[in-house]
Amino acid sequence: MKNITISIDDDLYGRARMKAAEQGTSISALFRDYLIRLTVEGSAEAEFQRLAREEQELRAELGARGRGLKAEHSLSRDELHERHALR
């Protein structure tokens, strides 16, 4: 884990400490969460790429098990809506 040193004015530091205390956390945790959102969660493209990668991995796993996604595995509309089939 890396340590980061930043310089901020006293007023900003005081407000950040109060905000952290309100949330029951530390300034470091607030800043870490901000960086995570900034670099990962805040990026729709990164999220899309993660989901695409997970889909490829799942499809590869299903294919390796001989259970690929095929149309023959689909249920008809009537089969999907049969209530007794769910019991």
Of 16 and 43, more confident: 16
Q: Tens of pLDDT along 21-63?
A: 999 999 999 999 888 877 775 566 777 888 888 888 888 877 7
16 pLDDT band, cuts 50/70/90, is very high
81 class by beta-carbon count within 10 Å (0-12 exposed, 13-18 middle, 19+ buried): exposed
Residue with tokens 């008809």: 76
Domain extents for the chain? 7-42, 44-87
Can you give the pLDDT at residue 12? 95
Give SS3 for 2: coil
